[in-house]
Structures are given as structure tokens and as C-alpha cells.
Structure 1
Amino acid sequence: MSTPRTDRAATGRRAWLRDHSELGVCVLLLALGVLVLTDALTMDVDLTQRGPVGPRTVPLVVGGGLLLIAALLAVDVLRGGRGEAEGGEDVDLSEPADWRTVLLLAGVFLGAAVLIGPLGFPVAGALLFWGAAFTLGSRRADRDPLIAAVLSLVTYAVFDKLLGVPLPGGPLMGVL
């Protein structure tokens, strides 16, 4: 059985974490900055580049900026700074989070990531677009799959054919 003293301590910790929840964003920014810097520093690049700016420059600047922003935000939060909700934001903070929708969207995204190799981008992208629309509440079975297929094919054509970014075509590789 817990004592009143440990209950008060646990309640105090929860209250402190609730009041400083923005520190979670700081941790996310810190982790992202470390990831970007690690990637940039371990990048295999040709050291015979011409000019002062190489392929590591932008990732190093972005990673350093992420670390700086994480540190500045953490200092601000610990000094009592708080983010303010947008004035026109239509969010009821008393309602619980809709974890079902979040998990369904994550499942649709992961499913598309797994299927993009064997089925190709056009099919996996169509499933992603349709699955996201269905998860977010659209129930138009006559329209949604068609819109998803068109969006996916147009996206594939723009990236693969016009921009030269190779995407896996899957069974449609020879058709487009």
C-alpha cells in the first residue's frame, strides 16, 4: 500500500511533466538533430570536390540548427515559457485523443511502405491514399478508389517520368 507521501510525490511529478510537456518536442528535435549530424558526418563523399560547399554542408547546418533550436526551446520551457494555442483553433482539449484513427493511419502508412517493393508505387500509393481517406471518414466507395488511383498514377508519372526520380513501378512498370 502506498503512503500519502509517495502519492503526493507521484502527483507532483505528473503535474511537473504536464506543465513542461513541451520538453518532449525538445527531445524530438535533439534526436532528429543527432540523426542528421550522424548521417552527414558518416556520409561517403568524394573528397575531391570543387568549391567550398560540398554535399555535407546543408545536412551539417540543418543538424546544428536542430540542436540549437532544441536547446533554446528547452531553456525557454524550463524558465516558464509555454506554447499558446492558436486563437482560431477548433480543438476541445477536454476530449481524449483519437488513438484509433492515429493507429489506423500508421497501419495504412506502414502497409504502403511494405507493399511498395512488391506491388510498386502506383498500387501501394493508391492503397495509401484510399486507406487514409477511409480512415479519416470518407465512405464514398464509388469515388474514393478512383481518386486514389488517379492521384497515385499522376504522382508516379510526375516523379518517375518528369522529375527523373526513379520509383518502383511494380506490375505497371512496362505500361507507364
Structure 2
Amino acid sequence: MSGVSDPTPGPAPAGLNTEQLAAFFALMEVSSLLQYAVDEHLRADGDLSYVQFQILARLVDASEGRLRMTDLADGVVYSRSGLTYQAGLLDRRGLITRSPSPDDERSVIVSITEAGRDLVARVLPGHVDSIRRLLFDAMSDGDLAVLGDVLGRVREHMRAAPPRSARPRAGRKTSS
């Protein structure tokens, strides 16, 4: 990180200081450990990947249990083609359905089925327990408030120039 040079001419960019580097590596390690544990639980209890769980959870929370595929993709930081593939797997398992939008033939509507709702209800308690045990039990209420504030600001900063997989499509309104 601090030793990586810029191939463009001009002054070399400043590297990360020791505190920044330590914070970055701690964030990456915590994120990886949490992602691994959550993914392991979801696979064991529901035969779901984390992305599949995100799809189902977003649909459970959506109005009438359905979203346009593009709106679903905008909220999940995952490639659109990868998300389409994951939705296909969920569709084949009977956890969601996909159908053309009545308003726009180019859009696909994704709806959660009762089987999908039942699966989310089954895996959610263990999912919540894992997150609480691994992440929140190590924090005080003050830590949680600070972490939420800091990560919220970083998320907004990053969403201002998101990767393509997290960028809303042109002409679409985003919702938070």
C-alpha cells in the first residue's frame, strides 16, 4: 500500500501512515472474518450464499415482497450478471419468482415466495445471533454509536462514486 507507486509522472502520492494502514487492515480482517462466519452459517442452516440471503432479505422487506431486478441490483454490491445468476438459483429452488414487469417489458420483477419467506424466517435467528456474538458483543453502546456514524459517513462517501455494481442505472431513483 504505502510502497505502491503511481505510474503517472509527477510527485509520488503520499502513502498511508501507520495508523491508517492499521485501521485499513483491521477493517479488512474484521470484514473477512464476519463475512466468512455469516456465510458459513447461511450455508449450513439454509444452503444459501450471503448474496442469496441478501436478495431474499431485501424482498422480505420490500413492499408486497417484490422489486424490479435493477432496483435489487442497485442495493446489493454484486455484479449484475452475478446477481442474475444467483436469482436464477433461487428461482429454481422455488424461493423467488421472476416475471416481466407489466409497466416495462425490459424490466424483470422479482418476488419472494412463501418458501422463500419461510427460509428467511428459519435462518434469521442464527444469522442475528452470529452477528451479535461476533460483532456487537465486543462493543459498548458508545462504540456502536461511533462505528455506526463513521461507517455511515464512509458508505455515503463511497456511494457518491460507487463501483458499477452498486451504481443506480441512469434514470432510476435510489432509495435509502
Common fold, TM-score beyond 0.5? no
- The TM-score bracket by the shorter chain reads under 0.3
TM-score, normalization: structure 1?
0.26
TM superposition score normalised by structure 2: 0.26
Structure number, greater radius of gyration: 1
* Higher share of residues assigned strand: 2
Q: Which has the higher contact order (CA 8 A, sep 6+)?
A: 2
